[in-house]
A = this chain, B = another copy of it.
Amino acid sequence: MKNKHLFTPCLENKVFRDPIHGYIHVNQQIIYDLIACNSFQRLRRIKQLGATFIVYPTAEHTRFSHCLGVYEIARRIVSENEKVAQSLSEEEKIYVMIAGLLHDIGHGPFSHCFERITGINHERVCDDIFLKDTDIHQVLESYSPGLSKIIASIIDHTYPKKLCWQIISSQLDADRMDYLLRDAYFTGTKYGEFDLERILRTLRVYENSLVVKASGIYAVEDYLMARFHMFWQVYYHVNIRIFEQMLIALTNRIHELDKQEEDEFNYFDKLIKPDNIDLDLYLSFDDGSMFELFKKLVHHKDKVLADLSYRLLNRDLFKEYPYSEENLETLRQRAIQNQEDPNYYILIDSSNFNATRPYISNGKQKINILLNDGSIKEFSQVSSIMKSLSKANETHEPYIFAPRQD
C-alpha cells in the first residue's frame, strides 16, 4: 500500500465478536496492521488474570481480547462523546486508540508476578517494543515517522496533552472499565458490573482534563465499588497469592542453583537477568512456555525444583496459616522434620493491600466532577460515600503459606 497514512481506512471494516462490547470495530488500516503484528498476536497466549484460573476455572480470557476491549472503549470515547471529540485533533483520536490497543504490549505471562520474578518492568519492555526495531515499531513508523515515540509518551504519561493519556490510564479509564467488566464476565462473578454506557455518556472535558458530569456520580460510585469488590473477591484471592508466592520461590531456586553451577536453564535464565533483556526471547515467552518449563523441571534432580514445579503444574497448592510467631515456629519445625527447606516451604504473604482502597482522594489521579453550575469538585467532596470510603482503612493480617498438613 502506497502513501498510507494515519487515516487510511480499512479496505473493509473489520469487526471482532466480543461478549463485553458486542462487536469491536476496526476502521483504520493502521489498527488492523498493529493487531496483525506477531508481538500483538502473542497476547493471545497470555491470560489476562494469570493464575486466577486456579480459583475461577473459566478465567481463561487473554490480554489479546482485553487490549481489543480497551481500544474499543477508547474508540467510543473519542468518537461518540461529543465533548471529548471536540477537544482532540483527528490525529490525537488515532493516537488514543492506538495507545489503548497497545498499552499492555509489554506484559509477560503471570503479569505482575512475572515482573517480580524477572526483575523486568513491563513498562520498560513496552518502551523497548515501541522504540527498538520490532514489528510494532515498524508498523507505527511506516504510517507516520515519529509515531512510536508519540504512542510511548502517551503510555508513560509524558505526552503534553493530559486528556490523551487520561482516557487510557487514570482512576476512571478505558483500561479499568474494560478489565472490570471482562474479568467479571469471565469469572462468572457479578461484582465487576457497572453501567459503562452511563459513564461514557457523562464524561466531559474541563481545562483539558477528563471529568464526569454530576449525573454520572452514582455510576462512578458503582464502578469504584465494583473495583473494590473485584480486588477482594478475585484479584487478591488467597489461593492466587499462594500460587504466585510459590512461583516466586521456584524462580528463586533457579537463581540459587544457577549461582552454584552451570546449569541447563539458560532458556528461562536469560530472561531473568534484568540488565540484559533478550527482547526476542521475552516476546516468545508466554503462559504455555511457563507450563512447559514446569513439565521439564518436574524431572529435575534438584528436589525443591522438581517438587515446586509438580505442585504448580498440578494445582497442589500450599495452604494459608494466620501469621504469628508461634505458627511460624511450628511450621518451621515441621518443615525441618519433613526435610523441606524453609526458604522455599515457608512463604510469607506480602500483598500490597493499599492498592485495594476503592478510591484515593488525594492521589494524582483523583476523579473530578463537573457540577451543574459549571464548577468542579473532587469526587469525594460530592459523594459522601466516597468521602467515607477514601478514609477506610482495611488492615489485613498477613499469612504464612506452607504445605497442607494431612
Query: A: which residues have CB within 8 A of B?
Result: 15-20, 22-23, 36, 38, 41, 44-45, 47, 53, 56-58, 60-62, 64-65, 68, 185-191, 193-195, 197, 201, 218, 221-222, 225, 228-229, 232-233, 284, 286-289, 291-292, 295, 313-315, 358, 384-385, 387-389, 391-394
Contact = CB atoms under 8 A, between A and B. Distances in A.
A393 B379 CA distance: 16
B187 A17 contact: yes
A183 to B, nearest CB: 12
21 contacts: A16-B57, A17-B56, A17-B58, A19-B58, A22-B197, A38-B313, A45-B291, A47-B60, A60-B62, A191-B195, A191-B222, A193-B193, A218-B232, A218-B233, A221-B229, A228-B385, A286-B288, A288-B289, A384-B392, A385-B392, A388-B388
A195 B188 contact: no
Nearest to A45: B291
Contacts of A388: 388-389, 391-392
Given A41-B314, A41-B315, A17 B189 contact: yes
Contacts of A221: 225, 229
Among the interface residues A45, A60, A387, which one has the most CB atoms of the partner chain B within 10 A?
A60
B194 A190 contact: yes
A186 to B, nearest CB: 7
